[in-house]
């Protein structure tokens, strides 16, 4: 039987790769809905090829002219369209592949409609942590982020054994070997030059600042019910070991593969089965060496902030995420130097880190206050 899947953020890096793997297995999947923010041309092309019944453009308020040959598809517009698509799409699965906390309400809508969520959109879990997990009983939220997919894969077959530690790998980004002073003044172009992964702009900047790993520490806490001290970041520049878990007998189980998101995307779609991804297989002889380093907390304060936000609880992680989103886009627009990003997040955490996060209203409020503080620091 074919599974229906809605792809939120289909025009992005993850969305396009999901469409590629679906194309390899047309006997297994059909696409029920597609969403873009503003990229109408690509969305139309995807609708033409995949023939979903529903499509949405969240970054456009009013209806835009729809090509005549796409009249089989209903188009929705505006920010609310994301939730509507998540809720109304036919089928069992929703792939959350939009960027930023914009995905949170859509993920909640998908869960309220009884859908299984395949989660690439980590900001949703960072901001909504407890509330999202409460809405997601076992088996209804599957990780797509490569590290979390790796951990999830490593835990298969662990039986009743609890892991002792999560070894969350990080490439270290383009500034791994730079000194602290040089990192402060890195340009947009330098920060966009990721050594091992090709991804959307926001996560690429987050990888350079290591806020991506900060978000992933928080993501791992929620997905695997980990205590913060059980999560150890391991810098691994080759990006071949996608993460590992350590058990009480000392065994470390890791998942290895080429740096390619098609495997984690498809695994979330077919779990516990595995299908061909069409990617180049891993050749250990070609790789030759795998190396591991401790992260440098002086150069990358983001990691410390993630642990502090987890310890603070409440809306602290939501504040960290919102301030980072603001700082990240301000850096991309050339408004602030790279070194300003962690300062902005730190300031927002100090000011709003004790807010509650019991429900969507709390989270919206903490998110808005953090953005206000971040924006005030851009001037
Ligand atoms: P991209 O920037 O490539 O794509 C983002 C997608 O979301 C696009 O379809 C975009 O539409 C849409 N979008 C942008 N802003 C909004 C908004 N405000 N509301 C609704 N939709 C919006 O991002 P990635 O694919 O790289 O990343 C997506 C998510 O997956 C992120 O949370 C990221 O952290 C996570 N992730 C990504 C990985 C990767 O390899 N790329 C790896 C692991 C996790 P449009 O094209 O019209 O702008
Ligand atoms: Mg990742």
CA 258 to chain centre: 19
Q: What is the CB-side half-sphere exposure of residue 334 using CA atoms within 13 A?
A: 1
Q: Pick the ligand that lies closest to the CA of residue 206.
A: 1
199 CA → ligand 1 middle, Å = 9
Question: And the tokens for 55?
Answer: 């499509």
The three state secondary structure string of 123-147 is HHHHHHHHHHHHCCCCCCEEECCHH
Q: Pick the ligand that lies closest to the CA of residue 43.
A: 1
Closest-CA residue to 331 (of 223, 239, 208): 208
- Ligand 1 pocket test: which of 6, 10, 14, 46 has the largest number of ligand atoms within 8 Å of its C-beta? 14
Whether the Cβ atoms of residue 152 and residue 254 lie closer than 8 Å to each other: no
Q: What is the CB-side half-sphere exposure of residue 260 using CA atoms within 13 A?
A: 16
Q: What is the pLDDT along the chain (379 residues), one digit of tens a residue?
A: 899 999 999 999 999 999 999 999 999 999 999 999 999 999 999 999 999 999 999 999 888 899 999 999 999 999 999 999 999 999 999 999 999 999 999 999 999 999 999 999 999 999 999 999 999 999 999 999 999 999 999 999 898 888 999 999 999 999 999 999 999 999 999 999 988 888 999 999 999 999 999 999 999 999 999 999 999 999 999 999 999 999 999 999 999 999 999 999 999 999 999 999 999 999 999 999 999 999 999 999 999 999 999 999 999 999 999 999 999 999 999 999 999 999 999 999 999 999 999 999 999 999 999 999 999 999 7
5 forms beta bridges with 31, 93
Q: Which residues line ligand 1 (CB under 6 A)?
A: 9-15, 36-39, 58, 82, 97-100, 102, 120-123, 145, 197, 199-203, 261
Question: And the tokens for 185?
Answer: 């003044």
Q: Which atom of ligand 1 has the smallest separation from the CA of 43?
A: 47
Distance separating alpha carbons of residues 343 and 376, to the nearest angstrom:
13
Distance separating alpha carbons of residues 45 and 278, to the nearest angstrom:
22
- With 0.75 as the threshold, say if the pTM is over it: yes
Q: Pick the ligand that lies closest to the CA of residue 13.
A: 1
């Amino acid at each position: 039987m074919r599974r229906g899947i809605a792809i939120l953020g289909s025009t992005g890096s993850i969305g396009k790769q999901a469409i590629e793997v679906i194309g390899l297995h047309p006997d297994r999947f059909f696409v029920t809905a597609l969403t873009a923010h503003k990229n109408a041309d690509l969305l139309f092309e995807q609708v033409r090829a995949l023939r979903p019944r529903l499509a949405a453009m969240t970054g456009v308020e009013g209806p835009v002219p729809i090509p005549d040959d796409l009249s089989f598809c209903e188009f929705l517009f505006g920010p609310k369209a994301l939730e509507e698509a998540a809720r109304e799409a036919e089928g069992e699965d929703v792939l959350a592949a939009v960027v930023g906390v914009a995905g949170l309400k859509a993920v909640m809508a998908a869960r309220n409609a009884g859908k299984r969520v395949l989660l690439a959109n980590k900001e949703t879990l960072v901001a909504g942590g407890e509330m999202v997990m409460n809405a997601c009983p076992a088996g209804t939220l599957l990780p797509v982020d490569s590290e979390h997919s790796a951990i999830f894969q490593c835990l298969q077959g662990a039986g009743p054994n609890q892991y002792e530690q999560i070894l969350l790998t990080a490439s270290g980004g383009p500034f791994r070997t730079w000194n602290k002073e040089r990192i402060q003044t890195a340009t947009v172009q330098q920060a966009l030059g990721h050594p091992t992964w090709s991804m959307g702009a926001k996560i690429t900047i987050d990888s350079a600042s290591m806020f991506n790993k900060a978000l992933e520490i928080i993501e791992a806490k929620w997905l695997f019910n980990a205590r913060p001290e059980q999560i150890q970041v391991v810098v691994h520049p080759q990006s071949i070991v996608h993460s590992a878990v350590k058990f009480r007998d000392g065994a470390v189980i890791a998942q290895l593969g080429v740096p390619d998101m098609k495997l984690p995307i498809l695994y979330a779609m077919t779990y516990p089965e595995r299908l061909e991804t069409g990617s180049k297989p891993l050749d250990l002889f070609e790789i030759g060496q795998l190396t591991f380093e401790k992260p440098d907390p002086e150069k990358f304060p983001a990691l410390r902030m993630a642990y502090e936000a987890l310890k603070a609880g409440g809306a602290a992680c939501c504040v960290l995420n919102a301030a980072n989103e603001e700082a990240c886009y301000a850096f991309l627009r050339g408004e602030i130097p790279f070194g300003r990003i962690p300062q902005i997040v730190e300031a927002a955490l100090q000011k709003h880190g004790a807010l509650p996060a019991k429900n969507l209203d709390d989270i919206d409020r903490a998110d808005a206050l953090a953005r206000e503080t971040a924006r005030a620091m851009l001037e």
